[in-house]
Amino acid sequence: MARFQDLRVYQLAEKLANEIWKIVYQWDYFAKDTVGKQMVRAADSIGANIAEGNGRYSSKDNQRFVKIARGSLQETQHWLRLACARKLLHQEQIEKLKLIINELAPTLNAYLNSLKNRS
């Protein structure tokens, strides 16, 4: 079994979480305390669940955690939509995050499918 750090899907999740952290870190207290904390937690949860699933002994357990990671990605996208609507993100930040998400989402699904094939 591959180390979670070596998985492309994990690396993308970590990249997304770190980019979001850098952005939220610059916000004022109110924005950080409301949308910011939720968005950072959701983004951090993607990689955390990939890592936890990878450490499980069964493919079924791993699949369950990858599905949770996929839900966390959807939650992250929700918070990003609110941040955009509330004018907390610059266009350049939006484009950078979109690029990562557009690669992460299908990679996460492909990883889940590869785990199903191992069952």
Q: What is the CATH number of the domain that holds 101?
A: 1.20.1440.60
Mean pLDDT over 16-38 rounds to 98
Give the model's pLDDT for residue 1. Answer: 66
Tens digits of per-residue pLDDT, 57-109? 899 999 999 999 999 999 999 999 999 999 999 999 999 999 999 999 999 99
What's the average model confidence in pLDDT over 21-45? 98
CB 26 within 8 Å of CB 83: no
User: What confidence tier does 119 reach under pLDDT thresholds 50, 70, 90?
Assistant: low
* pLDDT tier for residue 117 given thresholds of 50, 70 and 90: confident
Q: How many domains does the chain have?
A: 1
Q: What is the overall mean pLDDT for the chain? A: 96
pLDDT score for 5: 96
Interatomic CA distance for residues 36 and 47, integer angstroms: 18
pLDDT score at 118? 79
Cβ-in-10-Å burial (0-12, 13-18, 19+) of 66 comes to: buried
Residue 65: predicted pLDDT:
98
Measure the CA–CA gap between 21 and 64, rounded to whole angstroms: 26
Q: What is the span of the domain harbouring residue 94?
A: 4-118
